[in-house]
Structure 1
């Protein structure tokens, strides 16, 4: 019955007052029905971005374990990678988070907010410089003694939303106004939190990977192609991957393992149907752990701008990334303060005046966007340019 009332109240408020009010109404009802506890304890860390960002953050993650060594840590993790996060020892529990359901399903939001309130955390941190509004709502609902975040920027929210949500934090850590590569940005945050000697570097996740059941299907030596990407506009054309594959096989004599996420099987089929003897198709057939394992044991990886590139760095496998200019410098190319032992990704780009457009894509017409065409800064990367990068990496391995 309570869910029926909740749904009616949610949808009526959404119709007459908008999404923000309907969501805050659900949060209020969750708070009203939550159990009150006197002693606050425990730490909640909120991380709602994509798998590549999570992997880049993993070296800093261990610092939170040391910083809050006497408290239990809960990680609120985007559902797309939450199961992979279970493999790491930096938290005691993981709560998967579904952003879409949080916005559209009042029952899901009610239960999630109520769980946060009932846990009665002492410290809550949203650790990303780009603060997600959903994460801000969880910070507000927690009523923790310490509610910590970055001063942040206006990515993912409007100016009035940031001004309002800033008030929900007890501590907003300073951040430089100039653009910073994500590894440097994360280091800036953890140093402001008190780990003053931390230096930005790439995590080593190799020891935390589980064995891959499909490893017997792989040859002793191979390379990996990842032709998919989070947005079709960031995908280098498949026919270019096919031409590149011919050159790479001629150069290295290595079989090419095609990897990809769910929904990218058709991209792999376009490649493997042409010359099945050269390819091994694993697209859509691996978990995140399996993908990391496959990349770890590869000679090198060629990929679009995806989480696979960051996995390669974190398992010390050479990689070449086809990189557009939308957010050039934010996640790639890498910048570190401690080189460690990692193979940093090599990037192949076609510089244009519109670099830094934040994927507003002024160079791609609306018609071409609807047609699924890549942005010009990716489409203009030639097979020869990319092969030159691959050849250099291959020669360095000899």
Structure 2
């Protein structure tokens, strides 16, 4: 398929050679590229929003007056390279490199040949319950790790989950630039996309406050709905259709457990507060994760609280005095008697009163000789 405005086969980006353009969107293009040397294939994403820039030769030229908005989107595009450059889980795609060339940016990602889950289930393939449970656990645990790191993916959908050759699945990057440019290019967000949770369609300020792990719970539940019912749920922007959606409980039986179907129905609620709050809660509600309660201490002698040793009662001053040695009692009495006699003698000796008249009392400030002489 020929995509208008895409790079032609053979064009080089750093040490990568473009082999074919495999997809196009209002945000840019996606290529199959190969590296020099070993010729290993990779997926290359190009940032080129059609409403803000155009290609002139190999160079990307920003339209007049659109430079500021173009840069906002490019920074968000590059932010995905920072957020997904670390390998957190095998079920999350990793951005291998960020390349800046020809006036724009490119993300290099691993190449996977397998189809997406959207391709599998839309082609009429009957879902195998064991396989569905496996990829639900794989994606749920991967997203749970992402959430515990303080991030929300925000683009969990069947078209972004690709099947690997060994049967495992991997979730691609979210393309954060779509949301950064949504106010300037409303066409980048498709409100009829069934994988979008209702809170994602709010204005940017409200949206930033409303997003959370429950948003990705909704996205994962839409894929489960597709696998079980053979179709995606109604778009969340249409509340009437969302509330009138037939329950998945009609599929309960030998293939699908009732508890799992009820949990998915709950995860598809238009009200975020009615959904499981975390991925672990969602997996546990479906019966795919065993939530272990903290071990309880057994009521044995070893686990019993240590006994407080008995302490001898503290002696009162009277008890201490009467319990002391008789010699010490006589010595103390004699000492107090001697001090009292000395004090009486000092007070009654001759000249004591005169001497007291010359002694400065502690509460008085010293008076200089000149002040005394003056009167």
Q: Same fold (TM over 0.5)?
A: no
TM-score by length of 1: 0.22
Larger RCO (CA within 8 A; separation ≥ 6): 1
Larger Rg: 2
TM-score by length of 2: 0.23
